[in-house]
Amino acid sequence: MDLQQLSNYLRELLIDNDRVSLFGIGSFVAENAPAFFSGDGKTLFPPSRKLTFRQQESWDDGMIAYLHQRKTSRDLADVQRELADYAKQLRMELQVKKSLLIPTIGELKETKEGNIYFVVDAQLDIDTEGVGLHTIPVRVLDQNRAAVRERARQMQELLKEAEKKESAEVIVEAEQPETNVDKSQPASDEQPQLEPVLEDEEKKMNTRKRNVVGLVWILVLLIVALTLFLFWPSLEAVFEGWLYSEEELRLIQSRH
């Protein structure tokens, strides 16, 4: 077996399996990754499957051996002996050169402390469900930010004027004196006339309060949307720090 044949086996196995061990050296693990924006926020990458290497998962699942035995129609015991010798060769190369390049898969590197990390090939694609999905360029409207800020300021002024108008109408109506009231009639006759008027005024006040509350919420949403628009690049870095580990961020950056 050589590295090209090993690469072909790994690609075939990783399409249908989430984990494939590498002769006790560690294991390749394929995980689903959601869509994400590039660091500058100008490109949207589609969902995909990302490939990592976990040195601590060093048990051998035998997938490569069984596939090799099926491809060559040889006795399984002979295949296992061949792969055991090949595994020793790979470990020796990794220890001496500190690097093992598997074509179209990626590169395994070993530190002085004996820790192994993996740099995935930028062209690797093991996501059969993502066929046909492409990156989407996003136009950043830097040239229109001034216009957006001006529109937000105008909306704020309109909301303030609306609030002042509503408050002024409430004050004027509250100060208007009562008219056309016949005081010669007994008190029992006045009560049925005043109750409908008070109920109407109460309904109007409640309606105005709801309108003012609605306008305030609209203003808050506009301010939040404007803040996200202006400071998205900075916020994106914070969100990526929450969502991904340092190793995952390095893998994403190396891929793009």
pLDDT in tens, 203-223: 777 787 788 888 888 888 888
Question: Is residue 140 over pLDDT 60?
Answer: no
Bigger pLDDT: 228 vs 19: 19
For residue 191, name the pLDDT band (cuts at 50, 70, 90). very low
Region 227-232: mean pLDDT is 74
Identity of residue 188? S
pLDDT of residue 255: 64
The larger pLDDT score, comparing residue 100 to residue 227, is at 100
Query: What tens digit of pLDDT does each residue of 5-14 get?
Result: 999 999 999 9
Average pLDDT over residues 96-115: 93
User: pLDDT tier at 92 (50, 70, 90 boundaries)?
Assistant: very high
Pull the structure tokens for residue 51: 């490939």
**103-107, 194-198, 211-215, range with the lowest pLDDT:** 194-198
Q: How many beta carbons lie within 10 A of that of residue 124, not counting itself?
A: 19
Q: Are 113 and 98 in contact (CB under 8 A)?
A: no
Would you state the pLDDT for residue 77?
92
* pLDDT at residue 148, as a whole number: 58
Cα distances from 232 to residues 55, 142, 153, 229, 238, in angstroms, run 36, 12, 20, 5, 10
**Mean pLDDT along residues 242-254:** 69
Q: Pick the closest to residue 114 from 35, 27, 26 (CA basis).
A: 26
**How far apart, in whole angstroms, are the C-alpha atoms of residue 116 and residue 95?**
10
Q: How big is the chain by its Cα radius of gyration, in Å?
A: 35
Question: What is the reported pLDDT for 133?
Answer: 66
Burial 6-32 (b: 16+ CB within 10 A, else e): bbebbbbbbeeeeebbbbebbbbbbee
Tell which residue, 117, 119, 26, 115, has the closest CA to residue 64. 26
pLDDT at 89 over 90: yes
Banded model confidence at residue 173, pLDDT cuts 50, 70, 90: low
Q: Tell me if residue 61 falls in helix, strand or coil.
A: coil
CB 86 within 8 A of CB 76: no
User: What per-residue confidence (pLDDT) applies to 211?
Assistant: 80
Percent of the chain with pLDDT over 90: 35
What is the structure's pLDDT at 84? 93
How do residues 41-85 score in pLDDT, each as one tens digit?
677 777 778 899 999 998 889 999 999 999 999 999 999 999 999
Max avg pLDDT among 16-30, 38-52, 170-184, 199-213: 16-30
Residue 151: what pLDDT?
67
| CA pair distance 56, 118, nearest whole angstrom | 13
